[in-house]
Amino acid sequence: MFPKYIILFLSCLLLLSGCKTGKRELSDLALVMAVGLDKGEKEGTIKVTTQIARPADARGSTGAPSGQTGDPIWSASAEGETIFQAIRNLSTFSSRRVFWAHNLIIVINEDLAKEGISDIIDFFTRNPELRMRTWVVVTPNPANQVVSTMTGLEVVPGEALDKLFRYTPISVQAPRTQMIDLQSAYLNESTQPILARLHFVKRGVSNKKEGQAGAYNQVELAGAGIFREDKLVGTLKPVEVRGMIPFIEPIDTGVHILSCPDDKSKKMTVELKNQKFSVTPSFQNNKPSFKISYQTTGSVVEAACPFALEERDKVRALEKMIEKEKKKDFEKIVKKAQIEFKSDFLELGKVFNNKYPVEWRKIGPSWETIFPTVAVEVHTKATINDTVLLKKQTKPGSVKN
């Protein structure tokens, strides 16, 4: 009985030494909040920039500099022939071990993305410290600057960029692309990847120093980067993203700005709710085709001209305008995908395969050549049935009905 317990005790002692193996003290880690990837200065190299939180100065909601450095983040860059080597090179001057588990965003410079991002996809999906829910974006600006730029209300810029994406469904300025989406699209036989796009704008406003309004950079959502295989082949403007989002993401509410039916110089804003979007494939005469159907109900949330629901002609005119604009949005994005980029980032191939798996086996291998010639028909339907709180028109009292 006695030796049995001694053996058990010794075994536990041996096993508990596992706490020592691979153990990392929190104070020994440099917590990466964002990472930027640019082309290195030397040909064939990659530059990795990490935005590392400085815990002592990134406290609370203000980042009061209790650490006395004044900066809540520390950004460091290193180059290498591979991402892994560049990261290892960071350790030559970082006083702490770089820890990736809390990384929120990966920013890739467009020049690098044009050459291919397959190594980036591989590295960030292979490493056990990294996560699939990390945002991935492209930028025309240097990625090392984007990740070290203070943006918005957050103390840590990486956190600001993370939150930027949480509210994109409202702004509809960029797709919400995470590593899991990028990997999935990259591995899919017909779908091509897209990534959100960020760029700098002069938007910072100082309330302390006069004349500094708009003097310093802020990061802003700026459309999407379109890929073919792993190479960036083009970009979409934020206004074009509006037509693309329903193809790839569940759609929430949207905003549409229209000219007043009676006065083109004045504007009205309609909030689009209950948006229903569907892509229906068909296969006739050995040719695939698609029917896009879009339905929405709208709510007039702002009107610079007198407007009430009783004016049925105006209501119908607005509905027609929305239908026309939406149709144009979808047709434009389809044309861009087919003709300009020759890239099926709209997942049409996937949709066709879901309904016609047998036919897909025939056309799938040559989808790249078939896709630009596929016929796409768009149908839109809009109904305005709400003016929020107001029943009557908003107009001066001197004007009689």
Partner 1 sequence: MKVQISNGIFMALIINMVYAKAIGLTQGSIAREVGGDMWISTLFSTIQGCLMMLLTVYLIRKTPSLNIIEQSEVLLGKWFGKIISLLLFFFFVGAAGAVFTTFVYHLKDYFLPEAPTFLFILAGMVIAVFALYHGIEVIGRMALIGVFSILMLNILIIIGSMSDFDIKELLPIFDAGLVPDVWASRHNNTDWAMATLMAAMILPKVKENKTWSKSGAYGILLGGAFVVLWPILESGVLSAEVAGQYIISCMQMARSAEIGLFIHRYEMIMIAFFALSSITQIIMTFYCATISVQRIFGIKKFNRTIIPVSFVLSAFGYWVVLDHHRAISYIESYWVLLAMSISVGVPIILLLLGLLFKKKLKNANAENLGT
166 makes contact with partner 1 (CB under 8 A): yes
Instruction: Work out how close the CB of 240 gets to partner 1 at its nearest, in angstroms, rounded to a whole number.
Output: 24
Q: Residues 110-139: x/- map of binding to partner 1 (CB under 8 A)? A: ---------------x--x--xxx------
353 makes contact with partner 1 (CB under 8 A): yes
CA distances from 16 to 6, 11, 13, 22 (A): 15, 8, 5, 12
Select the residue interacting with partner 1 from 69, 354, 385, 394 (CB under 8 A).
Answer: 354
Report the residue number, 214 or 357, with the smaller CB distance to partner 1. Answer: 357
Q: Which amino acid is at 357?
A: P
Q: Beta strand 105-109 with 46-53: parallel, antiparallel or unpaired?
A: unpaired
Q: How far apart are CA 64 and CA 66, in angstroms?
A: 6
Instruction: Work out how close the CB of 5 gets to partner 1 at its nearest, in angstroms, rounded to a whole number.
Output: 11
Report the residue number, 311 or 359, with the smaller CB distance to partner 1. Answer: 359
The residue among 79, 33, 76 whose CA lies nearest residue 58 is 33
Instruction: Work out how close the CB of 177 gets to partner 1 at its nearest, in angstroms, rounded to a whole number.
Output: 13
Is residue 369 within a helix (H) or strand (E), and if so which, with residue range?
Answer: helix 367-370
| Tokens encoding 326 | 């939406």
In the range 12-71, which residues lie near partner 1 by CB under 8 A?
12, 14-15, 17-18, 21-22
Instruction: Work out how close the CB of 247 gets to partner 1 at its nearest, in angstroms, rounded to a whole number.
Output: 12
Q: How far apart are CA 385 and CA 296, in angstroms?
A: 10
Residues 382, 293: contact at Cβ < 8 Å? Answer: no
Q: How far apart are CA 244 and CA 325, in angstroms?
A: 14
187 makes contact with partner 1 (CB under 8 A): yes
Report the residue number, 351 or 384, with the smaller CB distance to partner 1. Answer: 351
Compute the 3-state secondary structure of the chain and give helix, strand, coil in percent, each to the nearest 5: 35, 30, 35
Select the residue interacting with partner 1 from 62, 69, 91, 184 (CB under 8 A).
Answer: 184
153 makes contact with partner 1 (CB under 8 A): no
350 makes contact with partner 1 (CB under 8 A): yes
215 makes contact with partner 1 (CB under 8 A): no
Q: Mind spelling out the 3-state secondary structure of 263-296?
A: CCCCEEEEEEEEEEEEEEEEEECCEEEEEEEEEE
Q: Beta strand 194-204 with 135-139: parallel, antiparallel or unpaired?
A: parallel
Q: By CB under 8 A, name the binding residues for partner 1.
A: 4, 8, 11-12, 14-15, 17-18, 21-22, 101, 125, 128, 131-133, 166, 180, 183-184, 187-188, 350-351, 353-355, 357, 360
